Amino acid sequence: MFVLVAQLLVQDPLYDEHLSEPADPVSVDELVRDLRGSDEPDALYAARELKAQARSYNRTLARGKPGSIRVQEARQALAQIEERASGPCIEFLEDSRLAAPCAGLLAELGLVEALPALRSAAALEDTSCRNRRAIDRAIGHLEEE
């Protein structure tokens, strides 16, 4: 029985296609568009993905050889994320669904200019414990810089 199921999976063209090609990376512009959109799951995914990309680029900067192409590309990508995503993330700090990933993104970008917005979001009474922890972590990270 197991062999039959395995053969069907191997012969399935959708299964083969799924395994053969990696997913295309999503551009920063598409993620920012999703972040500003009305679809909550897409907005949350976009905020988390932007944060993950910023963390990856920061890691490349920290570990890469100075002057290498990878380091230059990471710097350029971080500048692009900062330019396009920092404004919407500052706006969404008061949104309960996006406050935590946006606070993390602002901390990854090292935006000290976002400290007043982070402090005001932390002072809101309706901020959940999860979001307050993420905002406090971002404030602590930015104050260290």
**Mean pLDDT of residues grouped by 10 in the chain (145 residues)?**
51 48 70 92 94 95 91 95 94 90 95 94 88 94 89
Looking at residue 1, its pLDDT comes to 55
User: Would you tell me how many other CB atoms lie within 10 Å of the CB of residue 45?
Assistant: 16
Domain span at residue 88 reads 26-144
Are the C-beta atoms of residues 112 and 145 closer than 8 Å to each other?
yes
User: Would you tell me how many other CB atoms lie within 10 Å of the CB of residue 137?
Assistant: 14
Looking at residue 145, its pLDDT comes to 75
**114 belongs to a structural domain:** yes
Number of domains, the chain: 1
Q: Which residues lie closer than 8 Å to 8 by C-beta, 6 or more apart?
A: none
For 95-123, b where at least 16 C-beta lie within 10 A, e where not — what string? eeebbbbbbbbbbbbbbeebeebbeebbe
**80 belongs to a structural domain:** yes
**107 belongs to a structural domain:** yes
**20 belongs to a structural domain:** no
Looking at residue 3, its pLDDT comes to 52
